[in-house]
Amino acid sequence: MNENRSKRREWVKTAAIVFLSILLVLTFFSQTILNHSLPEVATKFVQNGSITSKVRGSGTVESGDPYVVEAESKYIGRKVASINFREGDKVQKGDVLLTLAEGDGTELEEAKSTLKQAEASVETAQKALKDAQSDYDETVLKDKISAQDIKNLATYRTQINDLRNSLQAAKDRQKPYSDAVAQLNKAIEDSTAQKTYEQEQNEYAATRVTIAETALPLAETAKENAAGEVTKAEGAVTEIETESEALEADYLLTPENYPDIEEKRADLATRLAAANKTVEEKKTALTKAEENLKKAEDELKAATAAKEAREASPTINNIEKAISDYTIQKHANENQVNDIQKEIDQIQSQIDELMDKNDNIAKLQGKQDAIDTAKKELNAAKQSVADAKKKIEELTGENGGTEIKADIAGTITTINVTSGKKIEEKEIMVLQPEGMGFFFTMKVPIEQAKLVSVGDKATLVNSWYYSDMDITLKTIKPDKQDPAKTKVLTFSVAGDSVMVGQSLNISVGQRNQEYDCIIPKSALRQDINGDYVLIVESKSTPLGNRYIARRVDIQILAQDDNQAAVSGALNTWQDYVITTASGPVEPGSQVRITEN
C-alpha cells in the first residue's frame, strides 16, 4: 500500500513538472507571437539645431477693384444669342460683350400682360356702366317716374351730399372733445388711486405712533425691573461679604470654636463668586433694557415726526383739487360732445327724411349710385391701360437693344450667363479694370509671420505655367478671428497670366534660425484637433519592456524640405518620435521598435 502511495506521488510530481514546462514554453512563444503581431515603427531623437525656413501657404487670387457689369431691367428674361468673349479675355470700352436674341424681356412681357388685363377691365367696366344705365332707364319707364322726379332727384342728391359732408364735419369736431373726456376720465382714475395711497400712508403713520406709544411704557417698566434686579443682586453680594467679615472677626476672637474655618471660607467664596456673576448678568440685562428704552423713545419721536409731516403735507388737498378741476373740465367737454351729438342727430334725421321723401327718389338714388360707381371703375381701368402702354413704350422705346457693351476697359474675370439661356440676374459679368491690380491673402501662425517682412518676394511652388507672375508681400496684420495666434499676409500679384479665382501655392522668406526641438517632417501628424506627433514610451514588465505610442500636441514653428521646428511637451535628446510604421498606430497603441 505504501508503494502505491509512493507511485502516486511520483506521478503527481511528474505531471506538475510537465504542466509548468508547457506553461513556460507557451508564455515564451506568446511573447514572441505578440511582438510579431505589433506594428513595427522607426524612431528619431528630438534634437536641437537650425533650419533654413520658408513660409509656405496658398490663397485664391482676388481683384483689387472688381467692376460688375449689370444688365438693364429690359434685358432680364431675354435669351443670350452669343457671348463674344471668354473669362480671361481683355476688352476695351464699347466692345460688345453679349448679343441678345430678338424677343421680349421679363419686364416687357409682364407689362404686355398687364395691358391685356387692363383692357379686359375696361371692357368689363364699360359693360357694367351700360347695364347700370339700362337699369336706371328701365326703372324710370317701369315706374313712370316723371322728369320732375328726376329733377328733384338731382336736387336731393346735392342736398344729401351736402348734409353728409356736414355730418362728417360735425363728427370731426366732436372727436377732440370725446378724446378729452376719455383722457380726463383716466386722469381722475389715476388721481383717485393716488389719493387712496396717500390716505393709507397717513393711516400707517398714525398706527406707527400708536404702536410706539404702547411700546414706550413697556420698555420703561422693563428698564425699572432690570434696575431692581441689579439692586437685589448687589444686596445679595453685600450680605455675603458681611457674613464673611463676621466669620473672620469671630475666628480671630475664638479660633478654637472654628475647626472647619477653611471649609466655611470656601463656601462663602463660592457663594460670593456666584452672587457677583449674578450682578454682572443683571447689569447686562439692565444695559439691554436701557438700549430698548432708547430705541422705543427714538421710534416714538420718529413716528410722531413722520405723522406730523404727513398731516402738514398739502398732497391730499392738491390731489382733491386736481380731481375737482378734472371733473369740471370733463363736464365741460361732455357738454360739447352732447351739443354736437344733437347736431349730428339732427343732420342724420334730415338725411333720412330726404331719402324717404318718396319712393321714386329712393329707387333712383340706388340706381344713380350704381352708375357713379361704374363710371369710377371705368376711369380707373382706362388709367391702368394708359400706365401699361407707357411702361411698354419705355421698355421698347429704344428698340430694346440686342447688344450689351463694356462700360470700361479691363479683363473678364467672371461670366454669369450662358449662350442659349435667358438672363436671370442683373449681374452678368465681372471685369478687372486696367491698372487696379490683383491680390491674395493667406493665414500663418505668428511665429511664421516673424520670418518674413513687407517687401519680400514670393515664389510659386510646383508651377511653371505661371512663371511670369510677380508676387510681393504688402502687409502683415493680425487675424481678426484669432489675433493672439495668427497673422494675415497680403500679397500683390502682377503678370499677364493672372486671373481672378486662381489658386496659388507660394513660399516666401528664407532665414536660418536656431530651434530647441527639431524633428523629421515624416513624424508630423494632423487631425481635427491640430498638429501632433507620436513618441515612444518604455514600460517595464515581468516579461520585458513594452513600448507604447503617446500623443504630444505641437505647433509647427518652421520647416524646410526634410525637417520641422516645433514647440510642445517634447524633451530634446530624450524623446523618440515615430517617423514611419508598418501599420496603423494610434495614441496608446503598443508598438515594436525597428532593429537597426
pLDDT in tens, 547-585: 888 899 988 887 777 888 888 888 888 888 888 888 888
Question: What's the mean pLDDT when you consider all of the chain?
Answer: 79
Distance CA 594, CA 10 (A): 47
Residues near 119 by Cβ (< 8 Å), separated by ≥ 6? Answer: 385
> Which grid coordinates belong to 461?
511652388
Q: Express each pLDDT in 513-530 by its tens digit.
A: 788 889 998 888 988 888
The residue range of the domain holding 6 is: 2-37
* Residue that finishes a domain, picked among 327, 360, 375: 327
Residue 349 in any domain: the answer is: no
Does one domain contain both 96 and 160?
Answer: no
CATH number at residue 588: 2.40.30.170
Do 475 and 547 fall within a single domain? Answer: yes
Same domain, 552 and 453: yes
33 shares its domain with 46: no
0.85 cut: is pTM over it?
Answer: no
In-domain check, residue 343:
no
Say which CATH number the domain at 77 has: 2.40.50.100
Q: Judging by DSSP bridges, how do beta strands 90-91 and 403-405 pair with one another?
A: unpaired
The yes-or-no verdict on residue 35 having pLDDT over 70 is no
Residue 473 falls inside a structural domain: yes
Q: Are both 321 and 396 inside the same structural domain?
A: no
**182 and 284 together in one domain:** yes
Query: Is 361 part of any domain?
Result: no
| Total structural domains within the chain | 4
Tell me, yes or no, whether 548 and 571 share the same domain: yes
Instruction: With cut-offs at 50, 70 and 90, classify the pLDDT of residue 543.
Output: low
Task: Verify that 459 and 395 share a domain, yes or no.
Answer: no
Residues 9 and 74 both lie in one domain: no
Single residue among 399, 428, 457 that ends a domain in this structure: 428
Q: Is the pLDDT of residue 399 over 50?
A: no
Q: What is the separation, in whole angstroms, between the first and last Cα of the chain?
A: 64
Instruction: Look up residue 183 and give its three cell numbers.
Output: 383722457
If you average pLDDT over residues 385-410, what whole number do you get? 67
Say if residue 182 is in the same domain as residue 82.
Answer: no
In a domain, 121, yes or no: no
- Distance from C-alpha of 404 to C-alpha of 83, rounded to nearest angstrom: 10
Where does a domain end: 310, 327, 344?
A: 327
- CA 577/CA 569 separation, integer angstroms: 12
Please check whether residue 286 lies inside any domain of the structure. yes
Which DSSP category does 88 fall into?
A: T
Which is higher by pLDDT, 465 or 557? 557
Q: Is residue 395 part of a domain?
A: yes
Which grid coordinates belong to 104?
A: 421680349
pLDDT, tens digit, 9 for 90 and up, residues 280-337: 998 998 899 899 989 988 998 998 998 888 888 898 899 889 999 999 999 999 999 9
Decide if 215 is inside a domain.
yes
For strand 40-45 and strand 486-494, is the pairing parallel, antiparallel, or unpaired?
Answer: unpaired
Plot region of 76 (φ>0 → left; ψ -120 to 50 → alpha; else → beta): beta
